[in-house]
């Protein structure tokens, strides 16, 4: 353990940690502003407790050598699958989907931890491969490891969270021995396939509210008071921030409840309204700076499983950032995907912190032993 601490202090990714902690602080301030004077006000203090726990988990993820994490990964994976199954049976329903599991007064979302578990299990699987090379056969195994918790999440039903397993699959694909050009071709083909699936889904299993969201994303003025309302109000919140913002606690869109779900899905709208263009770009810089550090870590990592682990973390966080920020600034349709480190939510904050912790862990131990 002393060795681990020494390693961390000497070789840990200090910039990444700084950016991570900066985002956590920003998130807490923004949640306080978003809930101030509303019935959600106590959530701001609760988020501080979550943050404390998350930072604790983060250091756990950093200090315990990742080979030990990988050693226990199958156990962790099985436990998370079990909790996902439990959720389907005894889960607590919120807004129509059973995604919460309660242990005493503490509720958590197993699907969030399942992402980390799936990433760890996949890395462990890669570690066990003779040449640590991912081919077609290995891809199928990885798809199964990742697909099982995704499918269970989908059954809750929580379509939005289920899609957050996609970046893990994408990471595995990107990690395979396939050259970049072919991957890009496959990605092109995959996009076409997605569009086809989307078209099929449109006429089969998409719920009316989901269709409406897509339609009003394409044209918010179709229904300015209904589904287009959120899109419009979010856009007003972002735009009215102008260069320097209205000031913390002073965003009218946020404070007067025009901005939907300001402390969760639309927290970036609060950032944009209250801190303006400068604040929003600063937050984006922190995110992309952190993710760039991950790329550097992948380059410098000492083994394949470490590389995959960081790539998985990068993919999951990037996915959340793109989908969430894209939604708030009106580039993507409305979905229920939160913004890492900023949106309110304990389980989500902890799973994202675990990912960052594991990435820093890999960097800390980048030198061959």
Partner 1 sequence: MKASSDRHLGPKLQFLIFALWTVFLVFTVRLFYLQILQGGYYHTLSENNYTRSVVLRSPRGKLLDRNGKIVCRNRISFSLVYDTDRGVSIGDTLAAIKRILGVTMTRAQVEEALHRSAVPHVAVLARDVPVSWLQKVEAHQIELKGLHMEMELRRNYPYGDLASHAIGYVGLLSPDEAKDMRLKDVDPFIEVGKTGVEKTANRLLMGTSGRRISQVNSLGREVDDPRLRLPGVGVVREPVPGRNIQLTIDMTLQTILEKAFGNETGSAIFMNPNTGQILAWVSLPNFDPNVISNTMTPAQWHKIADDPRHPLLDRPIQGAYPPGSTFKPFVALVGLEEGAINEKTTFFCPGYWKFGGHVFHCWKRGGHGAVNILTAIQNSCNVFFYHVGDLVGIDALAKWGRIFGLGQKTGVDLPGELSGILPSPEWKKSRGLGPWYPGETLPIAIGQGYLTVTPLQLLSFYATLATGGRRYQPLLIDRPPRLLSSVDISPRDLDIVKEGLWQVVNKAGTGTACRIPGLDVCAKTGTAQVVKASAGVNTYDLKKDERDHAWFAGFAPRKDPSVVFVVMVEHGGHGGNICAPIAKAGLEYLFYGKLPEGMTPEGKPKKEGGAESIPPQLQAGFSSGPGQSAPDDTRERKP
Look at the alpha carbons of 60, 342, 21, 313 in this order and tell me if their dihedral is positive or negative.
positive
Tell me the pairing of strands 97-103 and 106-108: antiparallel
Between 149 and 220, name the residue whose CB sits nearer to partner 1: 220
Question: What is the rounded distance in angstroms from the CA atom of residue 293 to the CA atom of residue 287?
Answer: 10
Instruction: Fill in the DSSP letter of residue 254.
Output: H
Q: At what angle do helices 267-300 and 227-240 cross, to 10 degrees?
A: 80
Instruction: Kindly state whether residue 291 participates in binding partner 1, applying the rule CB under 8 A.
Output: yes
CB of 159 to partner 1, least distance (A): 23
Instruction: Kindly state whether residue 326 participates in binding partner 1, applying the rule CB under 8 A.
Output: yes
CB of 275 to partner 1, least distance (A): 10
Binding mask of the shown chain, residues 99 to 138, with x at each position contacting partner 1 by CB under 8 A: --------------------------------xxx-----
Are 116 and 355 spatial neighbours (Cβ–Cβ below 8 Å)? yes
Between 307 and 350, name the residue whose CB sits nearer to partner 1: 307
Instruction: Kindly state whether residue 298 participates in binding partner 1, applying the rule CB under 8 A.
Output: yes
For the segment 215-274, give every residue that binds partner 1 (CB under 8 A). Answer: 224-225, 233, 235-243, 250, 252-253, 255-258, 272-273
Instruction: Kindly state whether residue 307 participates in binding partner 1, applying the rule CB under 8 A.
Output: yes
Between 123 and 314, name the residue whose CB sits nearer to partner 1: 314
Question: What is the rounded distance in angstroms from the CA atom of residue 219 to the CA atom of residue 231?
Answer: 10
Instruction: Kindly state whether residue 332 participates in binding partner 1, applying the rule CB under 8 A.
Output: no
Alpha helices (runs of H) in the chain, residue ranges in sequence order: 2-11, 14-35, 42-63, 66-71, 73-90, 110-128, 136-155, 159-163, 166-175, 180-203, 208-218, 227-240, 252-255, 267-300, 304-328, 346-364
Token output for 168: 């893990």
For the segment 166-225, give every residue that binds partner 1 (CB under 8 A). Answer: 174-175, 177-180, 183, 224-225
CA angle, 94 then 98 then 101, to 5°: 95
Q: Which residues bind partner 1 (CB under 8 A)?
A: 37, 131-133, 174-175, 177-180, 183, 224-225, 233, 235-243, 250, 252-253, 255-258, 272-273, 276-277, 280-281, 284-285, 288, 291-292, 295, 298-299, 301-304, 307, 314, 318, 322, 325-326, 329-331, 368
């Amino acid at each position: 353990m002393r060795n681990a601490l020494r390693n961390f202090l000497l070789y840990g990714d200090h910039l990444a940690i700084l950016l991570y902690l900066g985002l956590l602080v920003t998130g807490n301030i923004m949640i306080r502003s978003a809930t101030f004077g509303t019935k959600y006000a106590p959530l701001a203090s609760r988020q501080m407790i979550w943050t404390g726990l998350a930072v604790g988990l983060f250091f756990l993820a950093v200090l315990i050598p990742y080979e030990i994490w990988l050693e226990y990964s199958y156990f962790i994976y099985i436990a998370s699958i079990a909790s996902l199954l439990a959720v389907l049976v005894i889960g607590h329903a919120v807004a129509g989907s059973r995604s919460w599991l309660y242990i005493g007064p503490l509720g958590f979302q197993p699907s969030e931890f399942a992402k980390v578990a799936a990433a760890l299990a996949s890395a462990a699987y890669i570690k066990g491969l003779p040449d640590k090379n991912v081919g077609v056969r290995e891809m199928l195994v990885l798809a199964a490891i990742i697909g099982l918790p995704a499918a269970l999440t989908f059954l809750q039903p929580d379509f939005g969270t289920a899609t957050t397993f996609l970046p893990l699959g994408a990471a595995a694909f990107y990690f395979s021995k396939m050259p970049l050009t072919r991957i890009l071709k496959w990605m092109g083909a995959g996009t076409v396939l997605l569009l086809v699936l989307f078209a099929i889904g449109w006429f089969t299993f998409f719920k009316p509210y989901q269709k409406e969201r897509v339609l009003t994303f394409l044209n918010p003025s179709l229904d300015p008071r209904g589904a287009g309302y959120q899109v419009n109000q979010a856009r007003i919140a972002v735009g009215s921030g102008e260069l320097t913002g209205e000031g913390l606690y002073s965003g009218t869109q946020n404070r007067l409840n025009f901005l939907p779900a300001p402390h969760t899905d639309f927290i970036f709208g609060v950032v944009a309204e209250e801190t303006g263009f400068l604040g929003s770009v600063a937050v984006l810089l922190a995110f992309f700076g952190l993710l760039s550090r991950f790329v550097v870590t992948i380059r410098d990592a000492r083994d394949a499983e470490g590389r995959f682990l960081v790539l998985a973390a990068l993919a999951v966080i990037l996915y959340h950032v793109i989908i969430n920020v894209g939604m708030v600034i009106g580039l993507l349709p409305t979905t229920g995907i939160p913004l890492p480190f900023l949106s309110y939510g304990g389980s989500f904050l902890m799973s994202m912190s675990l990912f960052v912790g594991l990435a820093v862990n890999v960097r800390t131990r980048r030198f061959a032993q």
